[in-house]
Structure 1
Amino acid sequence: MAYLDNLLASGEQPIRREHQHWFVVVADARYAIFAFLAAILLLVLSGAVPNDSGGQGLRQGIGYAVLALVIGGLAYLGWQILRYLNEEFIVTTRRVLQTEGVINKRVVDSSLEKINDAVLSQSLWGRIFGFGDLDVLTASEAGISRLRMLRQADDFKRAMLEAKHELELELSGARPMPGPAIRTGPPVAVPTAAPAPEVQRPPAPPPMSADEVTRTLASLADLRDRGAISAEDYEAKKSDLLRRL
């Protein structure tokens, strides 16, 4: 996982990781199997060697050969297991990656937006034991093209196509692109708004006596009769004066 973390870009997240089927180890370790079978055969043949002086030397030679075959077979088998564990196929939110190599690493990737189609081929044994061959068709010749004997190939294909669809939505603007995780800091005090100043209403006019109201109404009536103010203005002023009594 640490090596994969170094390959991921900012905001890129792994979605699915898968290996090849363990049948691949059996196929690649065929020479180790042949070595073990040869060692067993030599042990069987050593039983037919006579116990005389010449036979003892032959038995010793057969013993060394059996030991060499067993050690060599175990070393070869262990190397193939390490290769199997270090070869991995990963679907991320941006790419499909293939990593391989125990000492010298090799990484091949294909961008999801360049993938045109994916063809899954499964034999009868593949459907029974859960593996298949996945052909990834891209717009360029470079990149991952064939995933041989992939374990749970149908689920891997589904995850890849779903990730491609999600990426297309992000690129079209229909969905925001995920960014790196935001680290939460100490809480920041939010300043509170100052209370709004109270609106001061204008003071009410002082009350008037009846004589003052009468004189004012007479003046307003005179102005109305001379056409200085309209009848509507006169009535409005009259109502205001009567309220101030």
Structure 2
Amino acid sequence: MGYADGSLSTGERITYRTRQHPAAVVLGARWTIIAVGIATLLFLIGGNLDPDGLSGSLRQSIGWLTALLFFGGLVVFAWTGLRYFSLEYVLTNRRVILVEGVLNRSATDSSLEKINDAVVSQSVLGRMFDYGDLTVATASDSGITPMRTVRSPIVFKKAMFDAKHEHEVDRERAGWPTSPPIREGATSPAWTASMGPAPESAPTPASVPIPAVPPVVKAHPDEVARRLAGLADLRDRGAISPEEYDAKKVQLLARL
């Protein structure tokens, strides 16, 4: 079981998961590959030098430099490979999770309802070998770190928006809003600090009558039972959490 599997909440399930393309290892270790190539060339040059005199000292220096470049390159290449296998992009029916870290593991996530857009960037080689960068734009300033050299980025983007659409449809069927409602009396989002202090809410005149709270409309028991069965199905499929199910259940039972 992976790191992301252990962080799933009740009713949450993984719908898609992927990693970086193997090209990420080559691109991340490109300077290491060049260093190993130079070390191999120096090794061939040093083997043709005379071991005596000045050539011998030069041969010894080339030998140490060759060993440093070769073994240092192997260490960097191995570390790049470990980072490749530790990085994972996971999509669930509720959020997008980025798992990373070789020694210290961490998971960054963003809920599907906060995702606004996703931008795919592919180079010529990326289109040929099906890899690219995927940047997820969320409603908050802090979102998912851009996914670099991800495998099949267009497929991941499509799966993400399909899951987002299904998540919103399930919440609408359960009677939950798809976005947080604006609190009454809250300052308008268009008002910024550069415009000066926010205006105070105008007091309600005493002469204006306060409307009476409408009575709760009673529902037929069969209708309540049907709604409860639908909510239970959404809870079992992970579309809503058990807490959301309990809150909605209390509202429906109050209408009997």
Task: Please report the TM-score for the alignment, with normalisation by the length of structure 2.
Answer: 0.64
Distance in 2 between residues matched to 1:30 and 1:122, nearest whole Å: 19
Q: Find the counterpart in structure 2 of residue 11 from structure 1.
A: 11
Distance in 2 between residues matched to 1:84 and 1:69, nearest whole Å: 22
In structure 2, what residue type is equivalent to 1:177? L
In structure 2, what residue type is equivalent to 1:179? D
C-alpha deviation, 1:118, in angstroms: 1.8
Q: Find the counterpart in structure 1 of residue 70 from structure 2.
A: 70
Distance in 1 between residues matched to 2:3 and 2:74, nearest whole Å: 27
- Where 1:2 maps in the other structure, the secondary structure is coil
Cα deviation 1:194-219 (Å, max 9, x = unaligned): xxxxxxxxxxxxxxxxxxxxxxxxxx
C-alpha deviation, 1:124, in angstroms: 2.9
Cα deviation 1:183-238 (Å, max 9, x = unaligned): xxxxxxxxxxxxxxxxxxxxxxxxxxxxxxxxxxxxxxxxxxxxxxxxxxxxxxxx
Q: Equivalent residues in 2 for 1:167-206 (5 A)?
A: 167-173=167-173, 176-179=233-236
Cα deviation 1:32-90 (Å, max 9, x = unaligned): 21320221121132134223244344433433332232211111101000001111111
Identity, % of aligned pairs? 44
Following TM superposition, the consecutive aligned residue runs of length 4 or more in structure 1 with deviations greater than 4 angstroms are none
In structure 2, what residue type is equivalent to 1:152? S
CA contact (8 A) 1:10 1:179 kept: no
C-alpha deviation, 1:136, in angstroms: 1.3
CA contact (8 A) 1:10 1:180 kept: no
- Where 1:108 maps in the other structure, the secondary structure is strand
C-alpha deviation, 1:31, in angstroms: 3.0
In structure 2, what residue type is equivalent to 1:168? E
- Does residue 1:156 correspond to 2:173, yes or no? no
- Does residue 1:46 correspond to 2:46, yes or no? yes
Q: Find the counterpart in structure 2 of residue 197 from structure 1.
A: none
CA separation of 1:46 and 1:96: change in aligned 2, threshold 3 A: same
Structure 1 unaligned segments of length 5 or more: list them.
Answer: 182-245
CA contact (8 A) 1:134 1:146 kept: yes
Distance in 1 between residues matched to 2:104 and 2:7, nearest whole Å: 15
Structure 2 unaligned segments of length 5 or more: list them.
Answer: 175-229, 239-256
Q: Find the counterpart in structure 1 of residue 124 from structure 2.
A: 124
CA separation of 1:33 and 1:113: change in aligned 2, threshold 3 A: same
C-alpha deviation, 1:26, in angstroms: 1.2
C-alpha deviation, 1:180, in angstroms: 7.7
Task: Please report the TM-score for the alignment, with normalisation by the length of structure 1.
Answer: 0.67
Distance in 2 between residues matched to 1:33 and 1:42, nearest whole Å: 14
C-alpha deviation, 1:133, in angstroms: 2.1
CA contact (8 A) 2:4 2:107 kept: no
CA separation of 1:121 and 1:57: change in aligned 2, threshold 3 A: closer
In structure 2, what residue type is equivalent to 1:139? A
Cα deviation 1:94-147 (Å, max 9, x = unaligned): 100111110012221110011112222333322211012222121111121522
Q: Find the counterpart in structure 2 of residue 107 from structure 1.
A: 107
